[in-house]
Every structure is written in C-alpha cells, then in structure tokens.
Amino acid sequence: MVETYFTRVAPNCDSDPATYSLANNGWIWDGDPLVNFALPPSKAYLRREVIVWADTIKLRFGSGPADNPWLWEHMISYATSLAGVFDGFRIDNCNSTPLHVGTAILDAARKVNPNLYICAELFTRSEDTDLLFVCKLGVNSLIREAVHARDVEDLSSMMRRFGLSKPLGGYAAPL
C-alpha cells in the first residue's frame, strides 16, 4: 500500500475530479518546521519523504495576503469570528502553519479578544524552535507527548522544564 499524497475534490458532480487536486499535509522525519516542504525547491513529495495526514491539506497562503487574497481574508474572518465567541484556541500541529500566517491570523483574532489564550501542539524537536513559535505567536501553553521521554526521570525533568512547578507524583525508576 502507498500513502495518498493528494486528495482529489470536485466542487460539483459535473466536474472532473482530476481538475482539483489538493496536497495532503503531513510531516517529515527530522524536517525543519520553518521550511514549507510543499514549495519549490523541495522534492519531499517526489522522494516520498512526507508522512501523510490524510485528513488535512496544505493551503497555499504564499508569502503574504497579495498572493492569495481570498484565502487570507477567509481565514482571518474565520479566526476573528471564533475569537468573538471563544476565550482560547488550540492550534493542532502548530509547527505545520507558516509563522507569518499564524502571526497575522492570531494578531487579527487578538484585536477582537485581546486576552485570547493560545494552546499549541508543537513537534519541532528543538527547544529553540519551540521558543521561536511561542514568542512569535504568543503561545500561552504547549501540548507535549509523554512518549518522547526516555524514562520516568526524563518525563519528570521534561515536565519541570516546560513549567510544571508543583510535584505531580512520585517519578523514580524502580530500584
């Protein structure tokens, strides 16, 4: 079996499904989250390096609103409407959203709700890159996977390093 890298969609029954193809999103093992692997000169899709999430697609925002005005306006409108209803956002796989896009959308949402709480899931494999996302986007808290800890002591250290100041329980390796 081969993972599907593209989703074909047709806006109506009379359209040819091959006319509209969307690149599925995903991640690359040890990839740089600051590089959009869907844009040239990347050959990640051709080399089959992308580990695909079949339920999400890559959106072509470009380098700014002038590159895709409809998409930028739509996403900013969507985020600002949500900011008027909710006090916080959870950004799933935040590292797969280009920083300039996330910054623009969250800046617009904070004009509606200045105290918007942002919880983000980051998989950058680098505390420095995590910090870059946290500072640029104004992230209030991170979601981490405990599976990345080598053992219970490492999990305890990870929890302290990322802000848990009170003891959660006993974390010690068996004697």
Instruction: Kindly state whether residues 142 and 65 are assigned to the same domain.
Output: yes
**Mean predicted confidence (pLDDT) in 130-145:** 88
Structure confidence by residue, pLDDT tens digits, 18-34: 667 778 788 788 788 88
Residue 81 lies in a domain: yes
Residue 19 lies in a domain: yes
Instruction: Kindly state whether residues 130 and 82 are assigned to the same domain.
Output: yes
- pLDDT-derived band at 147 (thresholds 50, 70, 90) equals low
Spatial distance between the Cα atoms of 175 and 152, rounded to a whole number of angstroms: 13
Instruction: Kindly state whether residues 54 and 65 are assigned to the same domain.
Output: no
What pLDDT is recorded for position 8? 73
**Mean predicted confidence (pLDDT) in 52-72:** 87
Per the structure block, which two tokens stand in for 36?
Answer: 């959009």
**pLDDT above 70 as % of the chain:** 82
Residues 65, 92 contacting (CB under 8 angstroms): no
Q: What is the CATH number of the domain that holds 99?
A: 3.40.50
Residue 118, pLDDT > 80, answer: yes
Closest CA to 72 of 60, 58, 56, 90: 60
Instruction: Kindly state whether residues 77 and 53 are assigned to the same domain.
Output: no
Lowest-confidence region among 19-23, 77-81, 101-105, 133-137: 19-23
Instruction: Kindly state whether residues 54 and 91 are assigned to the same domain.
Output: no
Instruction: Kindly state whether residues 15 and 42 are assigned to the same domain.
Output: yes
Residue 99, pLDDT > 90, answer: yes
Question: Peptide bond preceding 41: is omega within 30 degrees of 0, i.e. cis?
Answer: yes
Give the torsion sign (CA, 22, 129, 114, 90): positive
What pLDDT is recorded for position 48? 84
Count of domains for the chain: 2
Instruction: Kindly state whether residues 91 and 119 are assigned to the same domain.
Output: yes
Instruction: Kindly state whether residues 67 and 139 are assigned to the same domain.
Output: yes
Spatial distance between the Cα atoms of 60 and 74, rounded to a whole number of angstroms: 13
Instruction: Kindly state whether residues 47 and 6 are assigned to the same domain.
Output: yes
Between 12 and 87, the higher pLDDT residue: 87
Residue 172, pLDDT > 60, answer: no
Range of the structural domain that residue 122 is part of: 61-146+155-162
Instruction: Kindly state whether residues 49 and 65 are assigned to the same domain.
Output: no
Whole-number average pLDDT of the chain: 82
End-to-end CA distance of the chain: 45
Instruction: Kindly state whether residues 83 and 45 are assigned to the same domain.
Output: no
Residue 106, pLDDT > 90, answer: yes
Q: Which of 31, 58, 85 is the last residue of a domain?
A: 58
